[in-house]
Structure 1
Amino acid sequence: MVYTVAPGNIPTIPIYRCLGGTDRFESRSATCEGGTQQRLLGYSVAYGTLAGYGLGGFDHMSTADGPAVAFVAEGAQGLLALTASEGTTSLMSCQDGADTFVSTDAACEGRKVLGSLGRIWTTAPASANRPIYQCVNGGDRFVSLDAACGGLPVDRELGYVLDDVPAVTAVFA
């Protein structure tokens, strides 16, 4: 759902129509990832789906923006907040050699910072939620909903994601 005017009681993000060469695309960034912003399309609820992807048993990654080439979808892991709100922290996308992983450390534990995916809750929020875990399989770190990481070593609980967008009726000023 896209609102033409941002509601006052729901976190939203602007969505822009952009031009890159001859291609039109939508973006959450006013800079259009280096393209040309054509206009504001409206406002979307500020939640994104964190999803897991795998690369033939070699690497796993979780992102809210779609996977790298050749990665195959493994499933939705929950909703991230796309705006700062009380009780949340950034979930960073990081890289260590061939391993793409997530971290709540803004500096990616000294590895390459790819950017913020969104925000997770540091404690269980009132809305329906689930914890996510950082698991390790050799040099591959990945996100799991399974507290036991499928029998692999558990690095740590990262925080909480939502099961669904909170049911709130939009109010306009």
Structure 2
Amino acid sequence: MRRVAGRVVSTVAATIMAMGVAAPAAATEDVRDVARPDTAASIGSGSDSSPRLLLAETAPLTRYWGSKKDHMSSVFHPGAGYAAEFVLGQIHTTWATGTHPLFQCVTGTDRFTSPQFNCEGKSNIGEIGYAYSAPPAAPNRAFYRCLVRSNGEHFDSVDPNCEGQRLEGLLGYLLL
């Protein structure tokens, strides 16, 4: 359990808050008032009285480099062994008009981004967020999935030339 603004939040709810993704109802039910641990606390606003976690509409999508020679893009820090390289742009944390989901996938030790839920036949780790399918009216930039020619490692880039490596395709558009 973790204390947040006078309340104790379960590990699941705290993780969801840190990841910036929509919280399932079961996770919000674990938010308890410290003074009355037998009751759920309502945090947030809404027309009903159900507990809510306030989450950002967008989050920075950051490219990380890992000690196992692996790039990955995420809205949260992947943990020990990874260092942030740069922010690709802002990705929606929930669906918005004109967006499509992106998933974090893995094959061996290579984590990669895919617009396909089945991760192109590889393992799906989870949803990253939602990118625009076409350039939105707001300031934006395209980003791409690339492949290192020498070892087959995937990475995301805002460079359409994939930093001198092989272009695999457009992943979508991120807000600036």
* Interval of TM-score (by shorter of Structure 1 and Structure 2): 0.7 to 0.9
In 2 relative to 1, CA 149–17 (structure 1 residues): closer, same or farther, beyond 3 Å?
farther
In 2 relative to 1, CA 17–119 (structure 1 residues): closer, same or farther, beyond 3 Å?
farther
In 2 relative to 1, CA 26–98 (structure 1 residues): closer, same or farther, beyond 3 Å?
closer
Same amino acid, percent of matched pairs: 28
1:98 is the counterpart of 2:109: yes
SS of residue paired to 2:120: helix
SS of residue paired to 2:10: strand
Question: Contact 1:55–1:72 at 8 Å: present in 2 too?
Answer: yes
SS of residue paired to 1:36: coil
Q: List runs of 5+ in structure 1 lacking aligned partners.
A: 1-15, 164-173
Q: Who is 2:36 aligned against?
A: none
In 2 relative to 1, CA 17–133 (structure 1 residues): closer, same or farther, beyond 3 Å?
farther
> What one-letter code is carried by the residue in structure 1 that aligns with 2:43?
L
1:158 is the counterpart of 2:166: no
CA deviations over 1:15-65 (Å, ceiling 9, x no partner): x96234xxx7772524449x9333443334311110010014710000012
SS of residue paired to 1:93: strand
1:19 is the counterpart of 2:10: yes
SS of residue paired to 2:112: strand
Partner Cα distance (1:126, 1:117) in 2: 22
15, 23, 31: which one pairs with 1:37?
Answer: 31
- Which structure: greater helix fraction? 2
TM (norm. structure 2) is 0.74
Partner Cα distance (1:57, 1:67) in 2: 13
TM (norm. structure 1) is 0.75
